[in-house]
Amino acid sequence: MKYALFLCTPVGGEEPGPEEIADDPRFTSYLQEVRDRDLVKGGARLRPASDATTVRVQGDEVLLSDGPFVESKEYVAGIDIIEVADLDEAIALASRHPAALGGGSVEVRPLWE
């Protein structure tokens, strides 16, 4: 079954870039495990929420605002698409993700197939 792992970072928290992730043993260990087991089927790390543009449409008017679409304590910093046997395996994998270990969280959501 396929799941999306939404990798959430606390607002105001540290946002590691690609170079920092490559040098972090927590990330390199996790990434090696999921590659060896061929669990990740796609995904991407996102730029900070402050770089977002939110689009809303009211009638014929397109409204744009800078930043995330909601005020929250966390924002989505990346997404991984995984393929595992069941929800228990998805949760076990999410619980080892550095995003969950570093003060953030990982939301596990099944995909429609």
Q: What percent of the chain has pLDDT over 70?
A: 96
Average pLDDT over the chain, rounded to an integer: 87
Burial of 3 from C-beta contacts in 10 A (0-12 / 13-18 / 19+) = buried
- Band of pLDDT at residue 56, cut at 50, 70 and 90: confident
9 CB contacts (<8 Å, ≥6 apart)? 15, 74, 75, 77, 99, 104
Residue type, 81: I
Question: In this structure, what DSSP letter does residue 79 have?
Answer: E
- pLDDT at residue 12 is higher than 90: no
pLDDT tens digits, one per residue of 60-87: 999 888 876 566 778 888 899 999 999 9
- pLDDT at residue 45 is higher than 70: yes
The whole-number pLDDT of residue 111 equals: 93
CA dihedral in degrees (22, 4, 51, 48; nearest 10)?
Answer: -40
Q: Of 113, 46, 52, which is closest to residue 83 (Cα–Cα)?
A: 113
The whole-number pLDDT of residue 71 equals: 64
| Fold classified for 2-110 | Alpha-Beta Plaits (3.30.70)
Inter-CA distances, 66 with 35, 83, 108, Å = 35, 34, 27
